[in-house]
Amino acid sequence: MKAVIHRIAKTLFQKVKDRCNAEKNFSVIAVNAPPNVAEVDRRLGFVETKELIVKGIRFTPMTYPLKKGLKEMLP
């Protein structure tokens, strides 16, 4: 089951990256990953920051650099 979910996530993420790259005005994709999805996002290449809890909702802000050289600039 995890392999299927990861394959779906990877396919959807590739479509998002393609769309953002086609638009040419995006440099980073940002998500707020819930705990049960953060590992999948890490495997896709997202860089995580510190886990937060806001109004009782736990999540980890994560970013994915679309342009080369941005990874070093991310937190």
Please, what are the averages of pLDDT over each run of 10 residues along the chain (75 residues)?
81 92 86 89 90 95 79 51
pLDDT of 43: 86
pLDDT of 59: 96
pLDDT of 40: 83
Q: Give the residue among 40, 36, 41, 60 at the shortest CA–CA distance from 50.
A: 60
Residue for token pair 């860089």:
47
Compute φ and ψ for 10, nearest 5 degrees: -65, -40
Element (DSSP H or E) covering residue 65: strand 57-65
Distance CA 8, CA 12 (A): 6
**Domain 2-70, CATH:** 3.40.630.30
pLDDT of 5: 78
pTM here is 0.74
Map out the domains of the chain as residue ranges. 2-70
